[in-house]
Structure formats: C-alpha cells, structure tokens
C-alpha cells in the first residue's frame, strides 16, 4: 500500500503529465489530449483516494472541533 | 446525510463523469463546417420596448459591421472593426462607438457568416407584439445561451456543493473541491453540451494557473519558515508591540493596514501569504489570523496591485465616462474598507473595542479610501498603493499621538491563543535570560525580509522602465479557440497566462527568501541544514494542496468555458428592474469572484455582461461598473483559493470551511451595504 505522500506525489505528477499531453496534443493528435484528460481524472481520483482514507476527513473535522472547543474554553476563560 | 453517504454521492458523480465522457465524445460535431457556422463571437440582447439592440462582442474577434446611414441615403458604411476586449452598443439608430457611426446597423458579418441585427419589419413586429412588455434579455442569435431557470439552477450547483461540503460538513478542501469539480464537469458536459475538446483546454489552462499559484505558495512558505527558524518573528513581535502600544491598533495596523499595503503592490494571494504569519506571531488564533487580513485587504482589490483590476475593466469594455466611473468606484469601495475596519475591531473585542477604536477606524479609512478616491480617476495605477501607504502612516501617527498611544485599558483575548498568550506572558515575566542565551536577531535583520520584499516589489512592479524591461521575458502555452454548441466562444490564446519570469510575485518572494537565507547565514542565525529542512517542509506541506488548487481553478474554468457563469449573471439581469439591477450588480460581481476565486476573474468575465445588461435596462453604465468593481472586490473574501493559499502557509488547510463560513457572513453583510450604496448612486445619478 502506497503511503499518503507517494499518492499526493503521484497525483501531482499525473497532473503535470496531463498538462503536457493536453498542450502537446491539442494541436496535433486527438488521442493525446484525450489521454491527458484521462490523466487529469486519474489525478483527481488519486487525490480523492488519499483524503478518502477511512476517517481522514473525520480526523480533520475532529481536529477542527477540538480546536474550536479549546477556542471556546479560551473565550470563556 | 452522513459523511459516508455523501462520499458515495461523490463516487456516483465521478462515475457519472466517467460515463459521460464517451457520451460527450460521441456528441462531438461530425462536420467542422457546421459547427463553425454556429459559432458566435457575440451576444445580443434586444429590448422589445424600445427596439434597442445591445451587442456584446467577445474579446479577440474580428467583425465586419455593416452600417447604413438613414440621413444620407443608402450610402452604407462598411469596415472592419478589430475588437480587443472592447464592446459595442448598437441601437436601431446609433452605433455607439465613440460616437463615430450613425444609422441602423443592418447586419454583422462574422467569419463569413451574416447575422441580421436589425430590420424594420422585425422592429415593427416587435413593437406590435411585445411593445408593452418589460425589457428583457433574450438570445437573438442561433446557438444563443438559454437563460432559463433550469439552466440557472444547474449553474449554481457546483458553488452550492463547495459551500455545503466545506462549511456545512467540514470536509477537507481536497474532497470538497473534487466534489465541486465533478458536479461542474457533469453539468457542463451534459446540460451545457460542453465538448470534450473544450474540457481539455480548460484542464490545461487550470493546471498552468495552478502551477503558478504553487509558485507563490512555495516561496512564501519557505520565507515564513526561514524567518521562523532564525527566531526573527519574536523580534518582530516585540518591536511591533513596543512601537504600537494599543493592541487593537496593532491588529488593525497589520490585518487592515499592512495587508492592504502589500495588496497595493502585488495581489494573487501574496498579501495573505505575508500577513498571516505576522498575525500568527502576534498570538492570534489561526482562524482569525486568516480571517482578518482576508477581509482587511478587500477594498484594495480594484486599484491595488498597480491598478490591475481597473485596467481589466478598461480592457473589457469602452467606458463612456471613465473619470466618473472611477470616482463612483472609489466611493463604493469605501464601504468594504470601512466595514472591514469596523468588523476587525468587533471581532477583536466586541462592541467595547468597536467603541474604543471607532475614531482610529474612521481616520485610517479616510486615509485609505479618501486618497484612493482622489487619485483613482486620474492615476488608477497608484491609487490603491497610495491609499494603503497613507493608511499605514495614519496607524503610526495614531500609535505616537492621541488616545491610541497608550496601552488598551483592557485587552480582550477573544482572538488570541490562550496557550500562546501564557507563553508570551512567561517570556515577559522571566524569560529574558532564556532568550538572551541564544543569538538575538538584530532589529533591522528581523524586518529585512519584509522591507526587502516591499522595496523589490515597488522597484520591479511600479517603475515603468524597469517593469517593461523585465516583463519582456514571458512564457505561456498556446491554446486553440474553443466553443460550445450553446454559443459560447473563446478565441485562441497564443500565450495563455504568460508567465513573466522576472516580475512574477513568486520570483520576487523567492529572491527575497534566498537573500534572507544568505543574510541570516552570514549573521549566524541560520545554517544550511535548516535550509534543507525548510525546503523539504515546503514541498511536504504544499504537495497535498496541489490537486485541490487544480480542482478549484478547473471548476472555475469549466463554469466559465461552458457558459455557466454567464447564465448565472444574465439570469439575474433578466429578472430585475433597472433600480433592482443597480442593487444586484455588486452581488453578481461577488458571485463571479467566488466562482472564479479572484476579483480579476470576475472583472474579466462579468464586466461585458454587466455593461450589456446595464445598457439593455437603461441604467447608467458608470454606476453599474462601479457597483461591479466594489462587488468583485468585496466578493474576493469568498475566494476559496486565496483562503487556501493563506492557510497553507501556516499549515492549516483543514480550516478552509470554517474561514469560509465567517467570510461568507461578512460578505453578505458588506454586499448588502455595497448594493444599497450602488442603488443610492443610481437614484442620485438618474
């Protein structure tokens, strides 16, 4: 199983690949920009997968709530 | 709905997107000629009551306008008009382009196809059938964009999804932006019939834009880390607090004054990337450290950054009264400026702080917006900068003289971190020995990066010969012209979003970061291992934000190129009366700023739309454009991308939803007042 950083890196690389294929392919070959578009979709799926790890959003949310409660305590104090 | 279920909705949306791609591919026009003949480079809106026809030409097209004089027989007037971001108003009697042409415009010849624009029979029919109807906005050409409730509601979905997931469900920016993008793509490819080719162009442009957003984030993150690593922030904090005794004035000075000062020089998220770390160092809680500068710099979004926003307006349309429009814009921009100052005081310490700070706020606001108002009609490029500089001057004067020269009688800790406040107190009480044990950063060295950035930016961006010389090295990919069957057309971009290597804000911050590294190394505050660690941190922290950045920019691009943004704006224009439109114009502009994540995006895309609607409804253009400018500036507080840049610099991207919730509330309040101001201007002018 790839770790989070590798997945983020993969998503970024896929984005760059999609950019190259699209820019290159728009003037030349249809298959090229179509592949680029596919790479972009894959990159977003990849990024979504990382954030989709069980409890990932909940963790962020939990951290935010924890912070909010500590802020609330601070305000009441 | 629980989070897993909503995640399932995203899967379905993405699956629908994947299913739609082959279907959309099958929808590609078979014959190029047929598609070409349906492409239009203009929108026309007819007013059935007056028979007046308004025509908005998209930038970058060549048109042949055939105009026939009525007073001199059928002599006709014919010629090419090269339109570069300008707009022509046509009526049955006058072609209003600097008052050059007179007579009915018979037809428009565009790319070899002739589109009739006026005929006496059609005008008579319109007078007979719909003469008593309310003026409306109608598509008057083949392939025109459908302005219907269904299309309008569909266009709001991506924005609603983003807000709901971020603010309502506290999703991470990555998940929420992906969901918003997926919904935008599905709607664009199906309902708005966006071809895959156009989607590919949107994707390419979005990645290019995102690269240069990251190019600002990386150096800003590195600069923040270098200053922090060297311990210079403690020195900055101490000296700022000794310079400005009143903590309320200090917060106003940094969040409102300094952020606007940076905005006066350079935009694109840089003011936030620079100011937020300072706020954090003043022990402000992260959420307020982002929120306060975000609303504090909104007023400078039009005439700041070398008057970039204003220049975009002038490039988008021909302003019949540029001086009055700039003047009205200055008046309306005063509103978000004043509201920002009052809001910061209110957030800082409630009504008590507001009462204490009101005179300072009035003085600073007068300097900000008063100077901007005076200079805007004549020197729009420097109006924002001069206003912000005057505001900072007033802050320092207030810090030296008068009631704000003393410490606040009470220091509310609502926006301050308790933990950090205790640490600061401990340091003040007995921590001096401890801090002296390390090499203390000299005062000039602590401020050197900020001073250096200001000097470098002013030199590079505000001195025309230097700016022009350095701007000649630019690089941008070429993108072909795009169009949709619904009549949306964008001309080819020979050099899209040209990256001006030596004048880009990212380059300026990078240069200052490298100079700071060398300086601090020479002074012994910093070693090369720290540099490596900082570089690693910059990459580690910004990498996860790459795809959310692309997703946010791409969603905006998809909405723009599919015509969703135009439908949103034209839909509002279609159902309002002239007076109501003067109130609605700032809201439309703010919607554009939210959807495109920038004031510039709103000004580029919506200025021609607002001008056309104003002409169709008979509302003074100067009032509507002023309302548009103020609305776009105010709506920038909703730009998720800018907020994310600020949050990323301090490593708190997960706070995006919470910040957005507060800025949404602030924007609603500010836009109500700006809209009312715009309406009052309309009432006075007419």
Tokens found for residue B615: 């002409």
Mutation to test the A interface, candidates B217, B547, B647, most A Cβ within 10 Å: B547
- Looking at per-residue confidence, does B133 or B442 come out higher? B442
What is the H or E stretch that residue B108 is in? strand B105-110
Interface list for B 435-474 with A (CB within 8 A): none
Q: What is the pLDDT of residue B3?
A: 54
Chain B, residues 153-192, CB within 8 A of chain A, namely 170-172, 174-175, 178, 181-182
In angstroms, what separates the C-alpha of B303 from chain A's closest C-alpha?
33
The minimal CB distance from A64 to the residues B181, B477, B658 is found for B658
Does B355 contact A at CB distance below 8 Å? no
> Within a 13 Å sphere around the CA of B456, how many CA atoms are in the beta-carbon half?
20
Among the partner-chain residues B10, B200, B478, the one whose CB lies closest to the CB of A33 is: B200
Examine the pLDDT at A21 and tell me if it is beyond 80: yes
Residues 6+ apart with CB under 8 A from B448: B516, B519
Smallest CA–CA distance from B175 into chain A, residue: A48
Asked whether B602 and B593 are in contact (CB, 8 A), the reply is yes
CB B375 within 8 A of CB B322: no
Bridge partners of B52, per DSSP, are B47
Is there a contact between B14 and B182 (Cβ–Cβ < 8 Å)?
yes
More confident residue, B384 or B84: B384
Distance CA B546, CA B218 (A): 11
Selection from B651, B12, B624, B10 nearest residue B289 by Cα: B651
CB contact under 8 A, B547 and A12: yes
The confidence score (pLDDT) of residue B394 equals: 93
With cut-offs at 50, 70 and 90, classify the pLDDT of residue B55: low
Residues A27-44, mean pLDDT to the nearest whole number: 90
Contact residues, B window 374-413, toward A, CB-based 8 Å cutoff: 413
pLDDT tens-digit readout, B339-393: 999 999 999 988 888 998 999 999 999 999 999 999 999 888 888 888 998 998 9
Nearest Cα of chain B lies from the Cα of A73 at a distance, in angstroms, of 9
What is the signed CA dihedral for B47, B51, B53, B54, rounded to 10 degrees? -40
Q: What is the C-alpha separation between B100 and B683, in angstroms, rounded? A: 30
B502 token code pair: 């030596």
The pLDDT assigned to B609 comes to 78
Question: Quick one: DSSP state of residue A53?
Answer: S
β-pairing verdict for B489-490 and B113-116: unpaired
d(CA B358, CA B339): 11
Q: Residue range B487-503: average pLDDT? A: 80
A15 vs B551: CB contact, 8 Å cut-off?
no
pLDDT above 60 (res B80)? no
Name the residue among B640, B584, B629 with its Cα closest to residue B312: B629
- Chain A residue with CA closest to B284: the answer is A71
Of A8, A37, A70, the CB nearest to B196: A37
pLDDT in tens, B121-144: 444 444 444 333 322 222 233 346
Q: Predicted confidence band at B436 (pLDDT cuts at 50, 70, 90)?
A: very low
Q: State yes or no: pLDDT of B496 exceeds 60.
A: yes
Which of B175, B540, B655 comes nearest A64 by C-beta?
B655
Mean pLDDT of B290-306: 89
Task: Judge whether residue B605 has pLDDT over 70.
Answer: yes
Residue B552 pLDDT exceeds 50: yes
Indicate if the pLDDT at residue B681 is higher than 90.
yes
Q: Do A57 and B170 touch (CB under 8 A)?
A: yes
From the list B674, B611, B607, B610, the residue with the least C-alpha distance to B637 is B674
Cβ(B270)–Cβ(B315) below 8 Å = no
Residue predicted with more confidence, B476 or B120: B476
Among A9, A23, A56, A66, pick the best mutation site for testing chain B contact (most B Cβ within 10 A): A23
SS3 at position B306: helix
pLDDT band for B11, please (50, 70, 90 cuts): low
* pLDDT in the model for residue B14: 58
Instruction: Average the pLDDT over B275-297 and give the result.
Output: 89
User: What pLDDT was estimated at residue A40?
Assistant: 92
| pLDDT higher than threshold 80 for residue A74 | no
Record the tokens describing residue A48, joined without a space. Answer: 């979504």
Q: What is the rounded average pLDDT of the residues B527-536? A: 77
Query: Which residues in chain A are closer than 8 Å to B167, comparing Cβ atoms?
Result: none
Most confident range (mean pLDDT) of A73-77, B122-126, B497-501, B583-587 is B583-587
pLDDT class of B252 with cuts at 50, 70, 90: very high
- CA-nearest of B597, B604, B607 to B627 is B607
- For B143-191, the pLDDT digits (tens) are 467 778 889 899 999 989 988 888 888 888 888 888 899 999 999 999 9
Q: What is the CA radius of gyration of chain A?
A: 19
Chain length of chain B: 686
Write the pLDDT tens digit of every residue in B40-52.
Answer: 344 454 444 444 4
* pLDDT at residue A56, as a whole number: 52
Residue B453 clears pLDDT 80, i.e. is over it = yes
Q: pLDDT-derived band of residue B676, with 50, 70 and 90 as boundaries?
A: very high
- CA B449, CA B516: separation in Å to the nearest integer? 6
Using CB atoms, pick whichever of A26, A64, A70 lies closest to residue B654.
A64
Is the confidence at residue B322, as pLDDT, over 80? Answer: yes
Measure in Å the smallest separation between the Cα of A69 and chain B Cα atoms. Answer: 12
Q: Which range, of B197-201, B266-270, B330-334, B522-526, averages the lowest pLDDT? A: B266-270
Highest mean pLDDT among A25-34, B70-79, B103-112, B642-651 belongs to A25-34
pLDDT recorded at residue B420: 52
Cβ separation of A58 and B3 shorter than 8 Å?
yes
CA distance A4 to chain B (A): 9
Q: Which residues of chain B have a CB within 8 Å of the CB of A64?
A: 170, 654-655, 657-658
In this predicted model, what pLDDT tens digit does every residue of B642-666 receive, in sequence order?
888 888 878 788 888 889 999 999 9
Partners of B17 on chain A (C-beta within 8 Å) are 41
Average pLDDT, chain B: 76
Tell me the per-residue pLDDT of B186-237, one tens digit each, with 9 for 90 and over.
999 999 989 999 999 999 998 998 887 888 878 888 888 888 888 887 788 7
Q: Is the pLDDT of residue B69 over 50?
A: no
Residue B244, pLDDT score: 83
Residue B623 has pLDDT above 60, yes or no: yes
Least-confidence region, from A63-67, B201-205, B532-536: A63-67
Q: Which of residues 556-595 of B touch A (CB under 8 A)?
A: none
Asked whether the predicted pLDDT for residue B27 surpasses 70, the reply is: no
């Amino acid at each position: 199983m790839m770790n989070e950083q590798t997945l983020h890196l993969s998503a970024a690389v896929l984005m760059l690949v999609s950019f190259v294929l699209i820019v290159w392919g728009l003037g030349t070959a249809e298959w090229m920009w179509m592949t680029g578009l596919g790479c972009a979709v894959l990159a977003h799926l990849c990024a979504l997968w990382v954030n989709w790890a069980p409890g990932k959003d909940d963790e962020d949310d939990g951290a935010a709530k924890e912070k909010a409660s500590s802020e609330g305590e601070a305000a009441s104090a | 709905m629980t989070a897993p279920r909503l995640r399932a909705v995203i899967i379905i949306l993405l699956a629908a997107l994947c299913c739609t791609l082959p279907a959309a591919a099958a929808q590609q026009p078979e014959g190029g000629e047929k598609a070409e003949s349906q492409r239009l480079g203009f929108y026309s809106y007819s007013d059935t009551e007056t028979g007046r026809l308004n025509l908005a030409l998209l930038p970058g097209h060549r048109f042949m306008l055939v105009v026939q004089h009525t007073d001199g027989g059928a002599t006709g007037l014919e010629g090419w008009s090269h339109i570069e971001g300008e707009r022509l108003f046509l009526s049955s009697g006058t072609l209003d382009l600097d008052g050059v042409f007179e007579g009915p415009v018979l037809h428009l010849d565009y790319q070899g196809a002739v589109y009739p624009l006026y005929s006496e029979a059609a005008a008579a029919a319109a007078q007979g059938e719909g003469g008593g109807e309310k003026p409306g906005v109608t598509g008057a050409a083949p392939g025109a964009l459908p302005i219907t409730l269904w299309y309008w509601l569909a266009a709001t979905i991506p924005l609603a999804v983003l807000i709901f997931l971020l603010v309502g469900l506290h999703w991470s920016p990555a998940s929420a932006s992906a969901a918003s993008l997926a919904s935008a793509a599905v709607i664009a490819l199906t309902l708005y019939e966006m071809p895959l080719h156009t989607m590919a162009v949107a994707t390419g442009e979005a990645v290019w834009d995102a690269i240069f957003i990251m190019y600002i984030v990386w150096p800003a993150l590195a600069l923040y880390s270098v200053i922090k690593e060297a311990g210079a922030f403690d020195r900055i904090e101490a000296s700022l607090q000794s310079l400005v005794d009143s903590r309320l004035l200090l917060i106003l000075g940094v969040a409102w004054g300094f952020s606007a000062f940076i905005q006066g020089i350079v935009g694109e998220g840089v003011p936030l990337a620079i100011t937020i770390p300072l706020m954090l160092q003043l022990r402000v809680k992260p959420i307020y450290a982002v929120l306060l500068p975000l609303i504090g710099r909104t007023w400078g979004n039009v005439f700041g950054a070398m008057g970039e926003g204003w220049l975009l307006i002038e490039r988008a349309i021909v302003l019949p009264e540029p001086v009055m429009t700039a003047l009205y814009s200055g008046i309306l921009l005063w509103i978000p400026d004043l509201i920002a100052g009052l809001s910061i005081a209110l957030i800082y310490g409630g009504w008590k702080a507001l009462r204490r700070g009101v005179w300072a706020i009035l003085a600073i606001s007068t300097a900000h917006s008063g100077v901007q108002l005076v200079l805007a009609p004549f020197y729009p490029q420097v109006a924002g900068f001069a206003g912000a500089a005057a505001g900072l001057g007033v802050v320092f004067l207030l810090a030296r003289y008068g009631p704000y020269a003393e410490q606040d009688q009470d220091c509310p800790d609502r926006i301050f971190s308790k933990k950090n406040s205790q640490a600061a107190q401990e340091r003040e009480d007995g921590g001096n020995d401890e801090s002296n044990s390390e090499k203390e950063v000299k005062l000039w060295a602590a401020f050197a990066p900020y001073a250096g950035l200001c000097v470098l930016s002013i030199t590079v961006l505000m001195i025309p010969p230097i700016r022009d010389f350095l701007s000649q090295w630019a690089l941008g990919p070429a993108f072909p012209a795009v169009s949709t069957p619904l009549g949306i057309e964008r001309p080819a971009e020979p050099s899209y979003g040209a990256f001006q290597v030596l004048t880009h804000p990212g380059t300026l911050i990078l240069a200052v970061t490298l100079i700071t590294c060398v300086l601090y190394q020479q002074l012994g505050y910093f070693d090369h291992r720290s540099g490596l660690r900082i570089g690693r941190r910059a990459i580690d922290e910004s990498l996860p934000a790459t795809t959310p950045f692309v997703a946010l920019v791409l969603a905006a691009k998809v909405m723009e190129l599919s015509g969703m943004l135009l439908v949103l704006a034209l839909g509002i224009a279609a159902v309002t009366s002239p007076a109501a439109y003067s109130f609605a114009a700032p809201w439309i502009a703010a919607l554009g700023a939210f959807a495109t994540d920038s004031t510039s995006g709103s000004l580029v895309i919506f200025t021609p739309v607002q001008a056309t609607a104003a002409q169709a409804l008979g509302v003074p253009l100067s009032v509507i454009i002023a309302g548009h400018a103020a609305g776009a500036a105010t709506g920038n507080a909703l730009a998720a991308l800018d907020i994310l840049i600020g949050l990323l610099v301090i490593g708190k991207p997960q706070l995006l939803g919470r910040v957005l919730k507060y800025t949404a509330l602030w924007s609603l309040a500010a836009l109500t007042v700006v809209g009312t101001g715009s309406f009052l201007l309309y009432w006075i002018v007419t």
